[in-house]
């Protein structure tokens, strides 16, 4: 055990714990609910996680720099509506163009947040609380409170949620899930192996030291918000594909869920540590719990949010207590020898 603790990085240990938890949850519910383990569960969880996971990845980027983005829900709503609107008026728009549109609009809104946080030095929680309201107002005004109707959307968009890449009997690997996996892999590698990724962690760990070391802190924070907004835009596109009808309350509450996934996934709310993989596992765990509680007739599904709050607290507490100890131990074992 001791040997193990010294071989594997603390972050990896956290991810393994999450994986274990997910397995435990599946086993627990499989024992409690008849017909639990079937293709339908996999399909359902994978498609709904896809939306949340992409958003959680964006939130991770921001949280790593010791900030937070509460406006992602409104960004998702706005981009979903905007793209839906454009597609309704012009069914001929290419799918790739629609996706890029969503990403672009999201990035713009994220950039707005980023400028206020990085350059005007307003705390992120305040900026994004304000833009959460502002962007939603933008949505209502732009849409004139009208709804995007499924009938006006092009057929390829409506069929999108059902598009399969692989199928085995009733088990489907949907295209949206593949998109999510691609994003996960891309950003996990990007953060681990690029200098930008390393700087991101550095800024979150110790902003003053990073500044003193000459890092372009402001630019990096701006980019992290830009990327978060872009991913929120992509989420908006996936949201549009899944629900079709976009109303003015689209995306309300998503910001909380994304922060929950990030925190449960082991990303430190004070920045500096955590991984994309962890956040994705956090999103999967939360979504799995939600979908399982619905099927478990013994307990009302309404326990979902109460349990989620408790889960967040215990995750953060565990991180705070145990991770600190494990990191200290790790640092001691792997300190460069001074003799």
Partner 1 sequence: MGWEGFLLVVLLLIICVNSFNSLAFLTVENQVNLFVLSVEKIIIALIMTFIILNAEIDLSVASMMGLAACALGWMVESGTSTSTAIGLCLIIGLVGGAFNAYWITIVKLPSLVVTLAMLIGFRGLGRVLIEDRSIRVFPPWFENLGQQPILGPLPLSILIFLVLLVIAVVILQYTGFGRYVYVIGISQEVATYSGVRVARVKTILFMVSGLISALAGILFSARLGSVRGDMGLGFELDIITMVLLGGVSIFGGAGSIYGVILSILIVLYLRNGMSLSNVTGHIQTGVIGVILILSAMIPNIKSWLESIFDKKYAP
Partner 2 sequence: MHKKIISILTVTALLFGATVMAHTIAKKGMRADLVLMPKFLGILVFDQANNGAQEAHKELGNPGKLEFLGPTPENSVAGQIEILTTATTQGQDGIMISNNAGDQIAPAAKAARAKGMTVVTWDSPIPSADGEQLFIAQVDFNETGMVMADMALNIIGPGGGEFAVLSATPDAANQNAWNASMKEHLKDPKYSKIKLVDLVYGDDQSEKSYNQALALVDKYPNLKLIMAPTTVGIAAAAKAMQDEGMCDQVKVSGLGLPAEMVSYTLNGCAPEFALWSFVDLGYLSYYATYMMATGQIEGVAGETFKAGRMGYYTIEKDPTRDKGLRVKMGPFSVYNKDNVEAASK
Q: Which 301-330 residues touch partner 2, going by CB under 8 A?
A: 301
Please, what is the minimum distance in Å from the beta carbon of residue 232 to partner 1?
17
Q: How many amino acids of this chain bind partner 2 (CB under 8 A)?
A: 30
What is the contact surface with partner 1 in residues (CB under 8 A)? 68, 116, 120-123, 125-127, 129-134, 136-138, 140-141, 248, 256, 259-260, 263, 269-270, 300, 302-310, 312-313, 316-317, 320-321
Cβ at position 291, least distance to partner 2 in Å? 8
Question: Which CB atom, from 2 or from 151, has the smaller least distance to partner 2?
Answer: 151
- Enclosing H/E stretch for 167: strand 164-168
Out of partner 2, partner 1, none, what residue 320 binds, judged by CB under 5 to 8 A for its kind, is: partner 1
Asked if residue 160 lies in contact with residue 150, where contact means CB atoms within 8 angstroms, the answer is no
272-308 as b/e: b if 16+ CB within 10 A = bbbbbbbbbbbbbbbbbbbbbbebeeeeeeeebeeeb
What residue 244 binds from partner 1, partner 2, none (CB within 5 to 8 A, per partner kind)? partner 2
Q: Are 145 and 248 in contact (CB under 8 A)?
A: yes
Q: Which of partner 1, partner 2, none sits in contact with 35, Cβ below 5 to 8 A by type? A: partner 2
Distance, in Å, from the CA atom of 266 to the CA atom of 13, rounded to the nearest integer, reads 10
68 and 128 Cβ atoms separated by less than 8 Å: yes
Q: Quick one: which of 72, 102, 9 has its CA closest to 224?
A: 72
> Residue 39 touches which of partner 2, partner 1, none (CB < 5 to 8 A by kind)?
none
Contacts of 118 (CB under 8 A, 6+ apart): 217, 218, 219, 221, 222, 225
Nearer to partner 1, 142 or 175 (CB): 142
Paired tokens of 136: 């939603």
* Phi, psi for 254 (deg, rounded to 5): -65, -30
What is the DSSP track for 40-74?
HHHHHHHHHHHHHHHHHHHHHHHHHTT---TTHHH
Q: Residue 259 CB, nearest distance to partner 1 (Å)? A: 6
Q: Determine, following the binding rule CB under 8 A, whether residue 88 of this chain makes contact with partner 2.
A: no
Nearer CB in complex with partner 2: 80/109: 80
Q: Is the CB of residue 80 less than 8 Å from the CB of residue 239?
A: yes
Rounded distance between C-alpha atoms, residue 102 and residue 79, angstroms: 6
135-164: which residues touch partner 2 (CB under 8 A)?
A: 140, 143, 145-147, 149-151, 158, 161-162
Residue closer to partner 2 (CB basis): 40 or 327: 40
Q: Which is nearer to partner 2, 148 or 221 (CB)?
A: 148
Least Å from the CB of residue 144 to partner 2: 9
Q: Binding marks (x or -) toward partner 2, 235..264, rule CB under 8 A?
A: -------xxxxxxxxx-x------------
Beta pairing partners, 173: 166
Q: CA Rg, the chain, in Å?
A: 21
Residues 28-47 that bind partner 2 (CB under 8 A): 35, 40, 43-44
Interaction mask 279-298, partner 2, x per CB under 8 A: ------------x--xx-x-
The option from partner 1, partner 2, none interacting with 321 (CB < 5 to 8 A, set by class) reads partner 1
Cα-Cα-Cα-Cα dihedral sign, residues 227, 228, 229, 235 = positive
Of 4 and 302, nearer to partner 2 (C-beta) is 302
- Name the residues that contact partner 2, by CB under 8 A: 35, 40, 43-44, 140, 143, 145-147, 149-151, 158, 161-162, 242-250, 252, 291, 294-295, 297, 301
């Amino acid at each position: 055990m001791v040997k193990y603790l010294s071989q594997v990085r603390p972050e990896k240990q956290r991810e393994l714990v999450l994986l274990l938890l997910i397995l435990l949850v599946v086993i627990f519910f499989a024992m409690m609910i008849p017909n639990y383990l079937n293709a339908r569960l996999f399909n359902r969880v994978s498609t709904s996680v896809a939306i949340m996971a992409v958003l959680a990845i964006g939130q991770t980027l921001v949280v790593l720099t010791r900030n937070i983005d509460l406006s992602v829900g409104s960004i998702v709503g706005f981009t979903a509506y905007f793209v839906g609107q454009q597609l309704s008026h012009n069914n001929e728009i290419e799918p790739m163009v629609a996706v890029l549109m969503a990403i672009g609009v999201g990035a713009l809104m994220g950039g707005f947040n980023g400028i206020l946080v990085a350059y005007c030095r307003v705390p992120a929680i305040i900026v994004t609380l304000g833009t959460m309201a502002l962007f939603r107002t933008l949505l209502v005004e732009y849409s004139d409170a009208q709804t995007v109707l499924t009938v006006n959307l092009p057929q390829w968009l409506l069929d999108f949620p059902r598009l399969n890449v692989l199928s085995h009997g009733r088990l489907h690997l949907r295209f949206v899930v593949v998109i999510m996996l691609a994003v996960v892999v891309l950003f996990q590698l990007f953060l681990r192996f690029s200098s930008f990724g390393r700087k991101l962690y550095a800024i979150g760990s110790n902003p003053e030291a990073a500044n003193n070391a000459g890092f372009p802190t402001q630019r990096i924070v701006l980019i992290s918000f830009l990327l978060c907004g872009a991913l929120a835009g992509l989420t908006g596109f996936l949201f549009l594909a899944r629900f079709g009808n976009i109303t003015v309350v689209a995306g309300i509450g998503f910001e909380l869920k994304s922060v929950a996934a990030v925190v449960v996934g082991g990303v430190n709310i004070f920045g500096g540590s955590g991984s994309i993989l962890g956040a994705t596992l956090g999103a999967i765990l939360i979504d799995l719990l939600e979908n399982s509680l619905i099927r478990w007739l013994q307990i009302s599904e309404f326990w979902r949010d109460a349990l989620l709050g408790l889960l967040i607290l215990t995750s953060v507490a565990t991180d705070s207590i145990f991770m600190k100890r494990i990191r200290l131990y790790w640092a001691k074992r792997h300190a460069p020898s001074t003799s």
